[in-house]
């Protein structure tokens, strides 16, 4: 007869009861989550989110305001700003700052795009520009958190994790959710890993950050003297030990560790091939304007296409360089020069390969900039109006949706929230945002919380 003290007996009993419930939920011993299933036929298979981090100015990119330019240097009317939340301009003398670059009506649709985006001007008929965005957070980190999670509270799951959860989208040889970053052209605001975190969803659903320079994954190669077969033996033994522990300890993260260690083993073969651009044609490399692994946004765009080809379902590319509190004219042109060609090339490349029709591309920032001047001809943070564009499957190309007032201070027509953007993205993936829920601490949570409307005006 076994000699058990009271503590051991209680712990064993609780573990047994918990394990029983865990088994009944169908999770014990599995490396895949049960799929929540689609609610309707999807238009797309994947999302590529091109994040212009730092607050891209709508007035230098997608929102031409002749009246604002006419009032350049004149006082901003108090009727616009009285009682409004400003960032660094609170209490300062507010002067209008007109559009710093010329705009052109592009393509057959006539969508107006700034001349700092000559390459994006060539794909105007493929994109839907939303000029009436608004958000809730006026500083970078919380605004990124809201854009990525739909909540101002840190610790909630990112939209990529929600998508992975809904689609049960685990990559075979690569993670299903991958993040890349680049910088240049302006102040490089830090980007925290909480922006692609799984929150209260299982750990295997978090985004995986790849390095943009050199090897995308550290220690992808085995140390000297360690063969792949020997490493496989070690992995098998560790997996067996983890599964043995899972029989006695109720911890779903054990399965996450098993799945992730197996994925890491597979990535040792898939990653070197992924980042080898030698098979890409010269015309493709010239179209993107990049070299392999040079750390540029353009290189990341080409890598995004290769990730999409290999089944990755959610891809985020952050370019940290759009925070222009001073000299917005020159700075926006410089930053656009680092992002314009790669973004346009990605659209063209996916289109010529027949992949744009089942891919959603989102190009935009966490917030916009003020129509008022700050410092040396710069712009402050602004949350009541900003612009972005969507492109790809299910999107009506050559569309301009929503508008701002004549000075661009406030979104006034077809006002669009971050929740609306998330609801529309999920809809295109075949997911009803009202039904995508996860129960945590006694409450059912959604990416869109209690908000969100599908943007039917941008859907084809």
pLDDT in tens, 148-172: 999 999 999 999 999 999 998 666 6
Is the pLDDT at 231 greater than 80, yes or no? no
Q: Give the model's pLDDT for residue 452.
A: 97
How far apart, in whole angstroms, are the C-alpha atoms of residue 321 and residue 338?
Answer: 9
Q: Residue 34 pLDDT > 70, yes or no?
A: no
Query: pLDDT grade, residue 75 (50/70/90)?
Result: very high
Query: What is the DSSP track for 66-110?
Result: HHHHHTTTSBPPHHHHTT---STTTTSPPBB---SS-EEEETTTT
Give the pLDDT confidence of 272-328 residue by residue, as tens digits. Answer: 889 899 999 999 999 999 988 889 999 999 999 999 999 999 999 999 999 999 999
**By CB neighbour count within 10 A (0-12 exposed, 13-18 middle, 19+ buried), where does 61 fall?**
buried
Query: Residue 109 contacts by C-beta under 8 Å, 6 or more apart in sequence?
Result: 124, 125, 397, 398, 399
CA pair distance 204, 165, nearest whole angstrom: 9
- The secondary structure element, H or E, covering residue 393 is none
pLDDT value of position 54: 97
Pull the structure tokens for residue 437.
Answer: 């829920």
CA–CA distance, 201 with 428 (Å, rounded to integer): 22
pLDDT greater at residue 291 or residue 33: 291
Q: Are 334 and 101 in contact (CB under 8 A)?
A: no
Six token digits for residue 262: 């197996």
Domain range annotation of the chain: 31-216+282-458, 217-274
Q: How confident is the model at residue 240 (pLDDT cuts 50, 70, 90)?
A: confident
Give the range among 59-63, 82-86, 404-408 with minimum mean pLDDT: 82-86
pLDDT at 15: 43
Share of the chain above pLDDT 70, in %: 82
In this predicted structure, which of 183-197, 259-273, 316-330, 369-383 has the lowest mean pLDDT? 259-273
Q: What is the pLDDT at residue 169? A: 66
The pLDDT, as a whole number, for residue 16 is 42
* Percent helix, percent strand, percent coil in the chain, to nearest 5: 35, 20, 45
Band of pLDDT at residue 186, cut at 50, 70 and 90: confident
Average per-residue pLDDT in the chain? 87
Quote the pLDDT of residue 36: 61
Indicate whether 19 pLDDT > 60.
no
Taking the C-alpha atoms of residue 31 and residue 12, their distance in angstroms, rounded to an integer, is 24
Q: Are 399 and 128 in contact (CB under 8 A)?
A: yes
Residue 30 confidence class, pLDDT cut points 50, 70, 90: very low
3-state secondary structure of 215: coil
Exposed (0-12), middle (13-18) or buried (19+): which is 213, by Cβ within 10 Å?
Answer: exposed
Q: Please give the backbone phi and psi of residue 451, each rounded to the nearest 5 degrees, phi first.
A: -125, -170
Q: Which residues have CB under 8 Å from 226's CB, separation 6+?
A: none
- CATH-assigned architecture of domain 31-216+282-458: 3-Layer(aba) Sandwich (3.40)
**Are 161 and 207 a contacting pair, CB within 8 Å?**
yes
**Coil, strand, or helix at residue 379?**
strand
Residue 267 pLDDT: 62
């Amino acid at each position: 007869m076994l000699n058990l003290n009271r503590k051991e007996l209680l712990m064993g009993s609780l573990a047994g009861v918990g394990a029983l419930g865990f088994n009944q939920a169908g999770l014990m011993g599995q490396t895949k989550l049960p799929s929540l299933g689609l609610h309707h036929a999807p238009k797309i298979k994947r999302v590529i989110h091109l994040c212009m981090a730092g607050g891209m100015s709508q007035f230098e990119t997608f929102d031409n305001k002749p009246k604002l330019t006419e009032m350049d240097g004149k006082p901003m009317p108090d009727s616009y700003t009285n009682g409004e939340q400003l960032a660094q301009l609170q209490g300062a003398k507010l002067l209008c700052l007109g559009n710093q670059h010329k705009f052109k009506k592009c393509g057959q649709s006539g969508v107006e795009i700034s001349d700092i985006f000559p390459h994006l001007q060539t794909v105007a008929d493929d994109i839907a520009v939303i000029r009436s965005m608004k958000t809730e957070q006026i500083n970078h980190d919380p605004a990124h958190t809201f854009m990525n999670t739909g909540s101002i509270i840190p610790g909630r799951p990112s939209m990529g994790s929600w998508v992975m959860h809904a689609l049960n989208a685990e990559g075979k040889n690569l993670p299903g959710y991958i993040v890349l970053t680049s910088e240049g052209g302006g102040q490089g605001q830090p980007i925290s890993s909480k922006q692609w975190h799984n929150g209260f969803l299982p750990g295997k659903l978090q985004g995986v950050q790849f390095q943009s320079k050199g090897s995308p994954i550290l220690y992808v190669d085995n140390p000297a003297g360690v063969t792949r077969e020997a490493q496989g033996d070690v992995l098998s033994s560790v997996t067996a030990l983890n599964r043995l522990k899972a029989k006695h300890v109720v911890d779903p993260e054990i399965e996450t560790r098993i799945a992730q260690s197996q994925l890491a083993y597979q990535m040792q073969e898939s990653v070197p091939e992924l980042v080898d651009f030698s098979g890409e044609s010269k015309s493709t490399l010239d179209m993107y304007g990049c070299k392999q692994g040079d750390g540029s946004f353009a290189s990341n765009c080409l890598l995004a296409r290769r990730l999409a080809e290999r089944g990755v379902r959610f891809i985020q590319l952050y370019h940290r360089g759009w925070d222009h509190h001073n000299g917005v004219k020159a700075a926006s042109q410089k930053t656009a020069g680092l992002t314009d060609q790669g973004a346009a090339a990605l659209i063209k490349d996916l289109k010529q390969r027949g992949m744009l029709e089942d891919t959603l591309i989102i190009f935009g920032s966490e917030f916009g900039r003020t129509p008022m001047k700050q410092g040396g001809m710069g712009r402050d943070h602004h949350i009541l109006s900003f612009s972005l564009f969507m492109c790809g499957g299910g999107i009506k190309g050559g569309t301009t949706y929503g508008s701002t007032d004549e000075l661009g201070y406030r979104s006034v027509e077809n006002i669009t929230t971050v929740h609306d953007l998330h609801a529309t993205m999920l809809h295109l993936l075949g997911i009803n945002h009202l039904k995508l829920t996860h129960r945590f601490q006694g409450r059912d949570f959604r990416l869109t919380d209690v908000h969100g409307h599908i943007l039917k005006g941008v859907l084809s």
